[in-house]
Structure formats: structure tokens, C-alpha cells
Amino acid sequence: MKHLLEVKNLDVKFDTDEGRITAVENISLSLDQGKVLGIVGESGSGKSVTAKAIMQLNPGNTNYNDDAKIILDDENVLRFTSKDDLKKIRGGKVSMIFQEPMASFAPAIKIGAQMVEQLLIHKDINKNEAKEISINMLKRVGIADAEKRFNQYAFELSGGMRQRAMIAMALSTMPKLLLADEPTTALDVTIQAQVINLIKDIIQEYQMGVIFITHDLGVIAQIADDVAVMYLGSVVEKGPVNKILKNPKHPYTKGLLEALPDVNNLDAPLRPIPGNIPSPLDRPSGCVFRTRCPNPCDNCRNGKTEMGLIEVEPEHWVDQCCANCS
């Protein structure tokens, strides 16, 4: 079966003054049209770096391995070097929405002007047609009085409305793939639910694929079809969201779920995962989770176990080391 997106054997490393650090290691993921892949993990897990690699938005000190592939529409986007090639994916075939809308909008340029400019770059249309498409998309995402908002600056809108405007701009070019990087984190729960429902409606209407990045497994449960759990640059568990949430195999996934409040027992203490994610400059040998694992086997504890996903049930993959330890 042909996938909308395939990421194969992706390593991402950054050259720094302290040396070359590994941000992502041996990532392989796939996404089909009309589906949502959730990527979850703590800050520093490599979620955003993975997403930015798809659009080649990582900084100039980035290094990709030679055998890595990011296949979109039968093309390896990691081989794109010209401005014309990059333009096809950045805002064209692929759009991205961020946690903070003000990072996407130029503060001194009206929202409508920015939407029109993007459309003129990626579509063979005139300014009037671009304006009409922009206003219609603002209406589609639930912004009242869209004509007025079109002529306003981002700082004049509320947080929830800015988020909707950013989604409208991202969708106006009709991308095949939408990258949503923590789009609900800064919102209150009511607006968060509205944005999640909006994205779900848009997926059904336009049949685009979505990569939804978050640290919140509760959000993943609401929106994702499949989920990949990342820790220190590696995927440690992946599969259909119902299998991962109902029957987690990796101790890190279990820890993320146990850290959530129990609505049936509000007096129960939260159970955070002990310790912190190690620095990429001090990456543990062998299993990267061994320094925080509650039940490591001897080989894992001593850094002698190689990482690699194995299928523990149909479509449910988990790191082979921690599958044996858990």
C-alpha cells in the first residue's frame, strides 16, 4: 500500500561548539491520507526536529544520514536543494501550525495580506481570487466577521482566534500534509476542544494527512489514529492509538499514562517519571531509557542492549530491550 508519507531510517545530528549531538536516531514512520499520526513525548524527545526535517526547516548546522529517506509523493524531500523544490513543500504540499501563532504571523503586516502573499506564491491565481479564498477559509475555521479580521493584525485577535487564523492560513493552499506542532498547548480547555474538533472536521473534509505533535496523551486519545512515542530522539513504541493506550508495553509509555490525573480518584497522587531526559551530549549507551527505567534487566542496566523495534502484536511495535524488561 502506498503511503502519503514515509520516513525511513532518519538520523538528525547537529554540529555544536561542544561537538556533534544526536537529536533523532533511526526514525521510521508512515502516514496515510486522511489519517492522524500522533507523536508524543517529553520536551527534548525529538518530536519537533522530526517534523521540521519533513519541511527542511532545521538550522544550517543540521546533518542527515545518507541512507535516510522522507518520501512524499514519491520524492525524497531530503534531496531537495533548490528554492523551487523547497517551495513545493514549504507551504505548498506541506503546511505547519505552531504552538504560538504569533511566531507564524508578522506583527506589522495584516493577517489577510500574509494569507494572500502565501497563496500568490503557491497558486496560479490573482490577488482578488487569493483574497476570496482567504476570507472563505477564515469563515471555514469559525472566525466570525471574517472580512473584518482579514484586515486586522494578529495582536488584535484573541489567542483562540489567532490559532484559528493560523490554521486557516496553513490550510488555504490545500496541503496534502499538515504538521501540527503543539497547537493546543497554550489554549484553555474549551478553546483546545474547539481546535481539536476543527482539525478533525478539516481532515474529513479535505482528506489530508496530519502529524500531531504533543506531550499530552489525553489529546492524542481524542484525535490520533496511530501514535509514536519518542524518547531522547528514538521511537520506543508505536501502533494504533487504542492498542498503545489500552495495552502499553514500554515503561516510558506506561509512565506517561500513569502521570495523568485519575478522574475516578482525584485524591490519588500523581506519579511522575523519576529523573529527567539526559542531555544529547551525554546520551546513554544501549537503551536510551535505561537511566530512568523502573525495572531494567542486567544487560540494559549495563548499556549492552541494542535498541530496535519488534512487533509484539499486530501493528504494535515496541523497543526490544524494554519489551523484555517491562
What pLDDT shows up at residue 38?
A: 97
Residue 326: pLDDT above 60? no
Per domain, the residue ranges of the chain are 5-93+175-263+270-325, 106-174
Q: Tell how strand 177-181 and strand 5-16 pair up.
A: unpaired
Question: Which candidate, 224, 302, 221, 282, places its Cα nearest to that of 256?
Answer: 221
Assign a CATH topology to domain 5-93+175-263+270-325.
Rossmann fold (3.40.50)
- Among 40-54, 191-205, 228-242, name the one with the lowest average pLDDT: 191-205
CB atoms within 10 A of CB 128: 9
Structure confidence by residue, pLDDT tens digits, 18-54: 889 999 999 999 999 999 999 999 988 999 999 999 9
Amino acid at 35: K
Cα(271)–Cα(260) distance, rounded to whole angstroms? Answer: 8
- pLDDT above 70 covers a percentage of the chain that reads 98
- Separation of alpha carbons 249 and 289, rounded Å: 14
DSSP helix, strand, coil percent of the chain (3-state; round to 5): 35, 25, 40
Do 211 and 284 form a contact (C-beta atoms < 8 A)? no
Residue 218 has pLDDT above 90, yes or no: no
**Amino acid 302: pLDDT:** 75
- What's the CA gap between 15 and 20, in Å, rounded? 4
Residue 110's pLDDT band (boundaries 50, 70, 90)?
very high
- Please write the tens of the pLDDT for every residue from 253-296: 999 998 888 777 777 787 888 888 888 888 888 888 888 888 88
Confidence grade of residue 158 (pLDDT, cut at 50, 70, 90): confident
Task: Please list, in sequence order, all residues whose beta carbon lies within 8 angstroms of the beta carbon of residue 43, skipping any fewer than 6 positions away.
Answer: 215, 277
Q: What is the pLDDT of residue 275?
A: 86
- Calculate the average pLDDT of the chain: 89
Identify the pLDDT of residue 72. 92
Distance CA(229)–CA(38), nearest Å, equals 8
Confidence check: pLDDT of 239 > 90? yes
Answer yes or no: are the C-beta atoms of 258 and 265 closer than 8 Å. Answer: no
Q: Is the pLDDT of residue 166 over 60?
A: yes
CA-nearest of 268, 265, 262, 306 to 284 is: 306
Is 209 a residue whose pLDDT tops 60?
A: yes
